[in-house]
Amino acid sequence: MDLFEYQGKDFFARYGVPTSSGSIVRNAADAGDVADSTGYPAVVKAQVQVGGRGKAGGIKLVGSREEAVRAAGEILGMNIKGHVVRKIWIERASDIEREYYASFTLDRGEKKYLLMVSAKGGMEIEEVAASDPGAIVRRHLDPIDGLSVEVARQVVEEAQLDEVAREPAAQVLVKLFDAFIQGDADLVEVNPLILRPDGSIHALDAKVTLDDNAGYRHPEWEAYRADMELDGREALARERGLNYIGLDGTVGIIANGAGLAMATLDVVSQVGGSAANFLDLGGGAGASTMANALEVINTDEKVRSVLVNVFGGITRCDEVAKGMVEALGKVELKFPMVVRLDGTNAAEGRAILREHESERLVVEGTMVGAAKVAVEMAGKEAK
């Protein structure tokens, strides 16, 4: 789960990482009162789950109530890389001496945690990584050892943070590491991590991705989850317990297993079509799961055909076929459907579906064949 900045700051605060306090505003009209209570100069920041909002104009410095209301009006509703801004965060502007960068992630290849620190923080960190990789200090941390303050001190020195910043930065890194570990985050990133004129270190931004698998030990995450913004289809899919990601194409995809679902998207594109979604049914795709999947896809206005790609391993194809027939009895589909069944009991499964075969329900034996039919159908339906 990717947190919004304001949630990330709340998350940081739990682990003692210093951040600015502020408030969330959903209507421009409310921005004046909030900014007044924050004090000026204040910063109005778009809350979107994507990087690069600064460059896109989603962050504005304001010096008065009028400016705050105007900035809020401009930013709310703004589209930043496909993300519509529905919330803004207003906080008191910080005095900035220097901008640094710090992050913790898991380096899969090394099977260790990776701490990265740079004295060249700010908006252009990816360019720094490309043009001046030496300016980013990388330190792998063994999970057993964690991060000691001694190692944190070495890293900030190596990264050539200003001398006055080093000790407080090392202390903040240790707290940030606590947030990363105890908070079960896949990523914590602060850009910029600022040095203030009084010599203190402060997280001016917060990018946090939480590990959904660890949710069972964090009841406090429920508040974050409740505030997530999903489009209608994705919200419905989550409610139904499906692994669904909305895309922009015309062929709806239903597959069992994430790998097979990805392969299905690939094949649809190879035969000249475009997928409307990624949908993994998971193991044991029974009638209710299938009905849920069809219902979610049914709500997508762009879909012109649907491709069901099931490979029976543990899941038996005859059971999938029975489930599908039952699901079709419950859901009235807006589009024609192609079904590819292969694997365990595939012949029996196809036989069950053939009894219901029509122009609107076609049974195919291979993945590529099924994709071709689905793309053809989508083309015809579009006309």
Residues that contact other proteins, how many (by CB under 8 A)? 64
Chain positions 285 to 304 lying near other proteins, rule: CB under 8 A, are none
Q: Which is nearer to other proteins, 263 or 331 (CB)?
A: 263
Q: Does 2 participate in binding other proteins (rule CB under 8 A)?
A: yes
Is position 189 annotated as part of the catalytic site?
A: yes
Q: Which is nearer to other proteins, 75 or 206 (CB)?
A: 206
Q: Does 103 participate in binding other proteins (rule CB under 8 A)?
A: yes
* Rounded CA separation 335/331 (Å): 11
300: phi then psi, degrees, rounded to nearest 5: -90, 110
**Identity of residue 149:** V
Chain positions 26 to 65 lying near other proteins, rule: CB under 8 A, are 49-51
Q: Does 257 participate in binding other proteins (rule CB under 8 A)?
A: yes
Task: Select the span of 70-78, 149-157, 235-243, 364-372 touching other proteins (CB under 8 A).
Answer: 364-372
Q: How far is CA 292 from the centre of its chain?
A: 23
Q: How far is CA 360 from the centre of its chain?
A: 35
**Distances in Å between the alpha carbon of 65 and those of 24, 62, 193?**
16, 8, 27
Cβ contact 60:74 at 8 Å:
yes
* Rounded CA separation 205/192 (Å): 6
The contact pattern for other proteins, residues 301-320, with x = CB under 8 A and - = no contact, is: ----------xxxx------
Q: Which is nearer to other proteins, 302 or 356 (CB)?
A: 302
Q: Does 258 participate in binding other proteins (rule CB under 8 A)?
A: yes
Residue among 347, 356, 354 at smallest CA distance from 318 = 347
Chain positions 4 to 23 lying near other proteins, rule: CB under 8 A, are none
Chain positions 135 to 164 lying near other proteins, rule: CB under 8 A, are 136, 142-144
Q: Which is nearer to other proteins, 28 or 378 (CB)?
A: 378
Is position 15 annotated as part of the catalytic site?
A: no
Task: Select the span of 294-302, 347-355, 356-364, 365-373 touching other proteins (CB under 8 A).
Answer: 365-373
Q: Does 331 participate in binding other proteins (rule CB under 8 A)?
A: no
265: phi then psi, degrees, rounded to nearest 5: -60, -45
Q: DSSP label at 19?
A: B
**Identity of residue 281:** L
* Rounded CA separation 181/183 (Å): 5
Q: Does 275 participate in binding other proteins (rule CB under 8 A)?
A: yes
Cβ contact 224:208 at 8 Å:
no
Cα–Cα–Cα angle for 62, 10, 122, rounded to 5 degrees: 50
Q: Does 66 participate in binding other proteins (rule CB under 8 A)?
A: no
Beta strand 185-195 with 201-203: parallel, antiparallel or unpaired? antiparallel
Chain positions 187 to 216 lying near other proteins, rule: CB under 8 A, are 187, 189, 191, 207, 209, 211, 213-214, 216
Of 40, 236, 269, 326, which lies in the binding site for other proteins, with binding defined by CB under 8 A? Answer: 269
* Rounded CA separation 166/154 (Å): 9
341: phi then psi, degrees, rounded to nearest 5: -120, 130
Q: CB of residue 39 vs other proteins: minimum separation in angstroms?
A: 29
Cβ contact 92:44 at 8 Å:
no
- Binding residues (CB under 8 A) for other proteins: these are 2, 49-51, 103-109, 111-114, 116, 125-126, 129, 136, 142-144, 181, 184, 186-187, 189, 191, 207, 209, 211, 213-214, 216-217, 245, 247, 255-260, 262-263, 265-270, 275, 278, 311-314, 342-344, 366-368
The residues that are catalytic are 101, 189
